[in-house]
Structure 1
Amino acid sequence: MNWTQTIFEVIDMRSFSNLWFWIALAVVWSSASHYVLGVPFDMITRARRHGGEAQQDLEDMVRINVNRILYIGQVSGLLLMGFVCFVLTALAILGFFYGVEFAQAVFLIALPMSFVGALSVRTAGRIAREAPEGEALHRRLIRHRQAVQFIGMASIFVTALWGMWKNLDRSFLFNTF
């Protein structure tokens, strides 16, 4: 037995039966819903409760991150979108046409995260145009967070269904009938 065979026996390389994949999926979605346009959600909550300096810090942080997101979108948005579409297409072909389970797993994380990225650019544009302050800014950020959480819940549900199907498909019991 060679060393690569030993590694692949110790570390299960099938993504949907690997605990690390599910931990990574949870971390990705909890981070995506915690950081609203790059602003930690606890900062939004603190600004809603206390106002004053916390509100000013929130508005400054939102302004900085909105400008950063819009700058990236203006400078390299088209190139970035083309690259993301290429990677997603390659993952979909490798995963669902050629049956590479790792590509399927990455695709099931990357596709919904690309929707979150597009939603973030859209929300950043609306904030830059409307320049909301105070409660209007809080509502906009919370609405964005709820949309990200909805995308995350749908993504986790679809990924769990697909992962259960792949695990059942490979199991001895399922293949005997």
Structure 2
Amino acid sequence: MDLHQTVFELIDMRSFSNLWYWIALAVVWSSASHYVLGVPWDLAMRARRKGGDALSDFESMVRINVNRILYISEVSGLLITGFAFFVMTTLALLAFVYANEFAQAVFLLAFPVSIVGLLSVYTARAIDRRALTGHDLYRRLHLHRIATQAIGMVAIFVTALFGMLQNLNLGAL
């Protein structure tokens, strides 16, 4: 038995039975719900509790990130959308037509994150259009965070079920 085969037996390289995939999935959704439009949630909580300079910092950081998101979406939004659809379609075909497990794992991670990305652009437009500040701004970001967490919970649940099904099917072979 050579070293290469020993390493691959020791570390299972299939996506859904690999501990690193599940750690990455947890980190992605934890980060997505902590950084709401790029603003750390603890900054939003501190701004809500203390007001004053913390509120000013919060509003400034939200304004900076909203302007950044809107600029990117206006300048290259069509190109990014086209490329994202190309990548998602390619992953979906590789995953579910050609039954590639790595593509399945990446698709189940990337597709829900892309939905959160679209939601972020929508939220940024709403904040900019209504020029939200103070409590209204906090409320809007809180709703965005709740939606992100709901998408994350559904994504983790579906990924876990699909991963268990894959592991049971491959274990039976």
TM-score by length of 1: 0.94
Answering whether residue 77 of structure 2 is matched by residue 77 of structure 1, we say: yes
Supply the distance in 1 between the matched residues of 2:118 and 2:170 (Cα, whole angstroms). 35
1:127-146 equivalence runs, <5 A:
127-146=127-146
TM-score by length of 2: 0.96
State the secondary structure of the residue aligned to 1:17: coil
Give the superposed CA RMSD: 1.1
Supply the distance in 1 between the matched residues of 2:60 and 2:36 (Cα, whole angstroms). 14
In structure 1, the residue matched to 2:162 is: 162
Supply the distance in 1 between the matched residues of 2:132 and 2:77 (Cα, whole angstroms). 25
Supply the distance in 2 between the matched residues of 1:133 and 1:64 (Cα, whole angstroms). 13
Alpha-carbon distance, 1:4 to partner: 4.1
Alpha-carbon distance, 1:146 to partner: 0.2
Supply the distance in 2 between the matched residues of 1:49 and 1:126 (Cα, whole angstroms). 24
State the secondary structure of the residue aligned to 2:99: coil
Supply the distance in 1 between the matched residues of 2:133 and 2:114 (Cα, whole angstroms). 28
Alpha-carbon distance, 1:5 to partner: 3.3
Alpha-carbon distance, 1:8 to partner: 2.6
Answering whether residue 110 of structure 2 is matched by residue 114 of structure 1, we say: no
Supply the distance in 1 between the matched residues of 2:9 and 2:85 (Cα, whole angstroms). 34
Supply the distance in 1 between the matched residues of 2:45 and 2:119 (Cα, whole angstroms). 21
Q: Which runs of no fewer than 5 residues in structure 2 stay unpaired? A: none
With over 3 angstroms needed to count, the CA separation of the structure-2 counterparts of 1:96 and 1:34, relative to structure 1, is same
Alpha-carbon distance, 1:171 to partner: 1.4
Supply the distance in 1 between the matched residues of 2:29 and 2:54 (Cα, whole angstroms). 26
Q: Which runs of no fewer than 5 residues in structure 1 stay unpaired? A: none
How many residues end up aligned between the 2 structures? 173
In structure 1, the residue matched to 2:98 is: 98
Cα deviation 1:32-67 (Å, max 9, x = unaligned): 000000000000000000000000000000000000
With over 3 angstroms needed to count, the CA separation of the structure-2 counterparts of 1:165 and 1:42, relative to structure 1, is same
In structure 2, the residue matched to 1:44 is: 44
Consecutive aligned runs of 4 or more in structure 1 exceeding 3 Å deviation: 1-7
